[in-house]
């Protein structure tokens, strides 16, 4: 069975500081991996995805993530956080069939 762990429930960073959100997955084959963002009162929006190929993927809003098969990880990074990045972030692992499993989310607070 596939599963996703986001070890950090809540992270606080200062505006302009770098950010890394952790995601570990369990899946029996090559996974499809996703990061979604949910701003307050908004729906979920896809930030980036990994299907195959280059293990460093770029997404929207200046985010990137790196797939590390040896560590079963797909951590999300951003070099300089903006106040508008405050939101909840969800990592997901998906099967080729389409069904995905989501982590419990990490809430990001940005200090001015």
Partner 1 sequence: GAGVSQSPSNKVTEKGKDVELRCDPISGHTALYWYRQSLGQGLEFLIYFQGNSAPDKSGLPSDRFSAERTGGSVSTLTIQRTQQEDSAVYLCASSFPSMGKNEQFFGPGTRLTVL
Site for partner 1 in 41-80 (CB under 8 A): 42-46, 49, 51
Applying CB under 8 A, the site for partner 1 has a residue count of: 23
Q: Which of 89, 87, 79 is nearest to 21 (CA)?
A: 89
Q: Which part of the chain contacts partner 1 (CB under 8 A), choosing from 20-28, 59-67, 78-86, 94-102?
A: 94-102
96: contact with partner 1 by CB under 8 A: yes
105: contact with partner 1 by CB under 8 A: yes
In the DSSP assignment, the letter for residue 29 is S
Q: Which part of the chain contacts partner 1 (CB under 8 A), choosing from 13-21, 59-67, 75-83, 88-96?
A: 88-96
102: contact with partner 1 by CB under 8 A: yes
CB 45 to partner 1: min, Å: 8
List of long-range contacts for 36-45, beta carbons under 8 Å, 24+ apart:
36/89, 36/90, 36/91, 36/92, 36/102, 37/61, 37/87, 37/88, 37/89, 37/90, 38/87, 38/88, 38/89, 38/90, 38/105, 39/86, 39/87, 40/86, 40/87, 44/90
101: contact with partner 1 by CB under 8 A: yes
Applying CB under 8 A, which residues contact partner 1? 32, 34, 36, 42-46, 49, 51, 90, 94-105
């Amino acid at each position: 069975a596939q599963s996703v762990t986001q070890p950090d429930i809540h992270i606080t960073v200062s505006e302009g500081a770098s950010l890394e959100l952790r995601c570990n997955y369990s899946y029996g084959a090559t996974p499809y991996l996703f990061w979604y963002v949910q701003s307050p009162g908004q729906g979920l929006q896809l930030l980036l995805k990994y299907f195959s190929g280059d293990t460093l993927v770029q997404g929207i809003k200046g985010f990137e993530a790196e797939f590390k098969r040896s560590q079963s990880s797909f951590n999300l990074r951003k070099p300089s956080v903006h106040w508008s990045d405050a939101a909840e972030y969800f990592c997901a692992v998906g099967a080729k069939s389409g069904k995905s499993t989501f982590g419990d989310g990490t809430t990001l607070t940005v200090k001015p």
